[in-house]
Chains A and B, each alone.
Chain A
Amino acid sequence: MMIESAFYQALWPALFKGFKLSLALILPSAAGGLVLGVLVGLIRGTEQPRWLFRPCQAYVSLFRGTALAVQLFICYYGLPELGLLLKPLCLEFGLPEWLWRLCYPSAYGASVLVFILCSGAYQSEYIRGAILSIKRGQFLAARALGFSRWQSFSAVILPQALRLAWPGCSNEVIYLIKYSSLAYLLSARELTGAAFSVGSFHFRYTESFFCAALFYLSLVSLATWLFSRLERAWAVPGFGRS
């Protein structure tokens, strides 16, 4: 009985701490991924501005086409090698210090960066698809009323694209909640990492991962509820059903 409570006394605080770090990974990654996805999706869906179209396509195929764990390792272990090159250059030419410091990310920093880039690539797919399904005539009508190109995007295309893409985008955030566990590969002590270390210390993996699963489950449920509320709040009669 003593051992029993010692295990749980160690587990819960560790999991809560891990959960906080998980949240700190997920929230900025979800927000950043959404913003990046909208920007990239706009560029890919409208092919405007032209010169950014190909780079965006390349970025998306790169991040959709490689394993997330590999991206994490490349960012965490590969960037410092770039830093070795950059640092002397920065010193030589008086470039700002943060430029090479960026190349030595913490496990946390590298994870958030990769999650944003990866999530942004997937989000842009949903946004692009939504934009392609909006009738071109509406863009023409906006231009005919004297909207600038940017105004037509922001006032006409984007509000519709977001509504159409929302189910897909929220799904991607749900995935992100779960793949944030991969930050543990870079030894970030988020939820999964915490469960693993307590589990291995006490040799009780099943229970500690089961408890970690409960955390993920409640977070996903909360997010699902929130997204469907937003979807209802933004609903427009008869929109997106044709």
Chain B
Amino acid sequence: MPVLEARHISKSLGGKLIVDDVSLTLDQGELKVLIGPSGGGKSTLLQCIHYLHRPDQGEVLLEGRSAAEMGRRNICAFRQEIGMIFQDFNLFDHLSAENNVAVALRKVKKFSTRAALERARAELARVGLADKARLYPAELSGGQKQRVSIARALAMDPKVMLLDEPTSALDPELIGEVLNVIADLAQGGMTMLMATHQIGFARRLTNEILFMEKGRLTERGSPAELLAPGSNSRAAEFCAKLAQLMGRE
């Protein structure tokens, strides 16, 4: 049984169909990569899977349990089990790094203040930020902020992580430190779905690339078959264009 399964998800926003009948599955320990042009609906799809947007149609199953019929309270519990990483970090600006991680443990998992802080420090150490625990978001670099947000998600012991272009808002020299953390997670067996433009990174770590355009998953396959020169896929074309834009990847 897959850890996470999305069945025929559709979502309209502002009268426009943004996600159009998308299905996908994630098996235990699998990393899938979502690529596609800007405005294709990647963020919206990830947020639908997380029920931050309730899908208009379709359902999401986590370990076989469908979120479709859950009430408010259970949806909150469902969300806890899926970690979400945002493009612009979304750290809580008024809390130090350790409290950014600890607050959810206290409020949602009902940890004691001490236990929450202890766990928070351990998670920060895991992403290489043990010495930054006391600093506030405004005092951290972009790469450090994103690592704090990863630590914050990991502290909830999620079964799946959804990453929405986690490195797009970062200066080039900071991308590496975040990708390293994600690669470590992948090696550690975390189940992940990641939207990204880092094709080289994706190619190394994933077995399946999903190409999303105009709300639909139009192509899927291993990097080797999808991105091979002369494969004539839209994905390969898109990646070539990206590579051109970014110089060499």
Q: Which residues of A contact B (CB under 8 A)?
A: 135, 137-138, 140-148, 151, 155-156, 159-160, 163, 236-239, 241-242
Residues 73-109 of chain B: 1 if any A CB is under 8 Å from the residue's CB, otherwise 0?
1001101101110101011111100000001100110
Closest to B153 in A: A145
Contact B94 A146 (CB under 8 A): no
- Kindly state whether residue B129 has any CB partner on chain A within 8 Å: no
Beta-carbon contacts under 8 Å, B128-179 to A: 135-139, 149, 152-153, 156
Chain A residues near B76 (CB, 8 Å)?
Answer: 146-148
Whether B50 is near chain A, meaning CB under 8 Å from some CB there, is yes
Whether the pair A239, B156 counts as a contact (CB closer than 8 A) is no
Ordered by A's residue number, 28 sampled pairs between the chains whose C-beta atoms are within 8 Å are: A135-B88, A138-B90, A138-B91, A140-B47, A140-B90, A141-B92, A141-B149, A142-B92, A142-B104, A144-B50, A144-B79, A144-B82, A144-B84, A144-B86, A145-B104, A145-B153, A146-B76, A146-B79, A148-B73, A151-B108, A160-B94, A236-B95, A236-B136, A237-B135, A237-B138, A238-B136, A238-B139, A241-B138
Instruction: Name the residue of chain A whose CB is nearest to the CB of B104.
Output: A145
Question: How far is it, in angstroms, between the C-alpha of A147 and the C-alpha of B73 when the chains are bound?
Answer: 10
**Nearest-CB distance from B96 to chain A (Å)?**
8
Interface size on B, residues (CB 8 A): 33
Q: Please give the residue numbers on chain B whose beta carbons come within 8 Å of chain A beta carbons, in ascending order.
A: 47, 50, 52, 72-73, 76-77, 79-80, 82-84, 86, 88, 90-95, 103-104, 107-108, 135-139, 149, 152-153, 156
Taking a contact as CB atoms closer than 8 A, the residue among B73, B138, B152 that contacts A145 in the complex is B152
* Chain A residues, CB < 8 A from B95: 236
Q: Which residue of B lies closest to A240 (CB)?
A: B93
Asked whether, in the complex, the Cβ of B139 is within 8 Å of the Cβ of A145, the reply is no
* A238 touching B137, Cβ below 8 Å: yes
